[in-house]
Structure 1
């Protein structure tokens, strides 16, 4: 699955390079991919923690605790992703200034932020 996602991002970079203004397109895409990477790492961390917890519970013979742990992690990941999507949408005109000073890149990132928020 991670391999498919890596290929997806590489194809996006190639397609963005074919757009009429490739410099702005690649800059804004790299800012959005960086933000997406940060949020994705939160999910990967929860995935690793849940894997250990479920393995321990199943090894101890507690399938109900393992089932509960999966539901807690899934709910927590969904809640955090929703909150971060709302924060990204609310700060879409300002969040790109963490990475760049360019006004054109900031406007392009603001245009891409609704699509970024949907991918969480």
Structure 2
């Protein structure tokens, strides 16, 4: 339902439990970007992205298994364990960076009129 100025009326409330420290942190962040608490929380819920990785649990399991295998190969002069670890770490960092770039692109525009 819209009010007289054409804006949607906001009559519903949502209550959450947070610590005083968390509340103060959120208030400081909201103030830093020129929003009130409601505007800031609504902006965060609409513009923060949770990335769901299909097979994420399987990926984590494979990374863990790879690390265990590399640990077993330490000391074998024929296996460049450190180079393999660095390559795997680089690949995971690239995935993380791509995911964060997606989030930044979608949250570049801040609209306090939420």
TM-score normalised to structure 1 length: 0.43
TM-score normalised to structure 2 length: 0.44
Larger helix percent: 1
